[in-house]
Structure 1
Amino acid sequence: MSPTAKLGEVMSRPVQVAMADQRLADIDAFFGAQSGLPVLDEEGRCIGVVSKKDKAKASNGLDSTVGEVMSSPAITLTPEKTVLEAAALMLKEKVHRIPVMNEQQQVIGIVTRTDVFKALEASKV
């Protein structure tokens, strides 16, 4: 992999997603395997991301809804964008993960800091 590798090659998939009206208790188990989830609205559009950090800030604990604590608006990219573009956007927006969207605006993957670091590290070999 290189900094010019496409996100479609390095993104993690399949992606577990959350709905804005779900309670944090309903998605809590997913945080064992991943640190954040894209959040969808009723039409399936990505409207934000909920992370472990967001969950920790919930005033009502696990009774809060995802929509109450998620980071929004969603910062997304397409699979044609590069690892370098994702890294720059992560730094600029101070985010740790970016949902990857297809032409129909559906979440098809997620690129994390770990994905970016692995791709950049592999380019040094």
Structure 2
Amino acid sequence: MSPTAKLSEVMSRPVEVAMADQKLAEIDALFATQSGLPVLDGEGKCIGVVSKKDKAKASNGLDSTVAEVMSSPAITLTLDKTVLEAAALMLKHKVHRIPVVNEQLQVIGIVTRTDVFQALEEANKA
């Protein structure tokens, strides 16, 4: 795997998502296995990301809605972008995960810092 590998080669799928109008209590169990989720609007478009850190800052605790605490607007990438581009965007925006979307802004995968680091580490071994 090289830094120029396409995100389609390193992203995770399928992706658990949250809806903007959901209560944090409804998605709390998902945080046991992942640190953040893409957030969708009623039309299925990615509008943000909600993380464990966002959840911890919720003023109403688990009664808060995802929309109240999520990071928005969504920082997204498309399948044709590279591992290197994902790494640069993560550094620039200080994020740990980036949803991968299609032309309609529907989530088709997610790339995490771990995905990026593993791809770069494999390239370093070669």
Q: Smaller-chain TM-score range? A: over 0.9
* Residue matched to 1:10: 10
* Residue matched to 1:100: 100
Kindly provide the amino acid, as one letter, of the partner of residue 42 in structure 2: E
- Residue 105 of structure 1: how far off its partner (Å): 1.9
After superposition, give the CA deviation of every residue in 1:20-77 in whole Å (9 maximum; x if it has no partner): 0000000000001110000000011100000000000000000000000000000000
- Residue 4 of structure 1: how far off its partner (Å): 0.4
> Among the aligned pairs, what percent are the same residue?
84
Residue 54 (str. 1) matches residue 54 (str. 2): yes
Q: Output the CA distance in 2 between the equivalents of 1:58 and 1:104.
A: 30
Matches within 5 A, 1:1-125: 1-125=1-125
Q: Is the 8 A contact 2:45 2:104 kept in 1?
A: no
Does the residue aligned with 2:9 lie in a helix, a strand or coil?
Answer: helix
Q: Output the CA distance in 1 between the equivalents of 2:13 and 2:26.
A: 21
Does the residue aligned with 1:124 lie in a helix, a strand or coil?
Answer: helix
Kindly provide the amino acid, as one letter, of the partner of residue 104 in structure 1: Q
Does the residue aligned with 2:115 lie in a helix, a strand or coil?
Answer: helix
TM-score in terms of structure 1 length: 0.98
Does the residue aligned with 1:37 lie in a helix, a strand or coil?
Answer: strand
Aligned Cα root-mean-square deviation (Å): 0.6
Q: Output the CA distance in 2 between the equivalents of 1:103 and 1:122.
A: 30
Q: Output the CA distance in 1 between the equivalents of 2:64 and 2:104.
A: 30
- Residue 103 of structure 1: how far off its partner (Å): 2.2
Q: Is the 8 A contact 2:14 2:109 kept in 1?
A: yes
- Residue 115 of structure 1: how far off its partner (Å): 0.4
Q: Output the CA distance in 1 between the equivalents of 2:107 and 2:40.
A: 9
Gapped regions of structure 2 (runs ≥ 5): none
After TM superposition, where is structure 1 displaced by more than 6 Å over at least 4 residues in a row? Answer: none
Gapped regions of structure 1 (runs ≥ 5): none
